């Protein structure tokens, strides 16, 4: 019983960590994409 509940806890912790990382990537992606586009535009001869 104890071993299975601790395994469940580890699974929940790892799922939470994966979800948190995914959420951060999704939230940060527009800013990252915008900065990349801005950089590429600044490199192009206008």
Q: Domain count of the chain?
A: 1
DSSP 45: -
Domain that holds residue 33: 1-46
Flag whether the pTM goes above 0.75. no
Quick one: pLDDT band at residue 39, thresholds 50, 70, 90? very high
Local structure of 44: helix, strand or coil: coil
Q: How many CB atoms lie within 10 A of CB 7?
A: 10
Q: Of 1 and 45, which is predicted with more confidence?
A: 45
Q: Of 46 and 16, which is predicted with more confidence?
A: 16
Evaluate if residue 46 carries a pLDDT over 70.
no
Determine which helix (DSSP H) or strand (DSSP E) holds 41, and give its type and residue range: helix 2-43
Phi/psi at 44 (nearest 5 deg)? -75, 140
Give the separation between CA 29 and CA 37, rounded to whole angstroms: 12
pLDDT in tens, 5-32: 889 999 999 999 999 999 999 999 999 9
DSSP 1: -
Q: What's the confidence (pLDDT) of residue 34? A: 95
């Amino acid at each position: 019983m104890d071993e299975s509940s601790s395994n469940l806890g580890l699974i929940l912790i790892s799922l939470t960590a994966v979800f948190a990382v995914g959420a951060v990537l999704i939230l940060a992606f527009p800013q990252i994409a915008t900065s990349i586009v801005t950089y590429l535009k600044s490199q192009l001869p206008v």
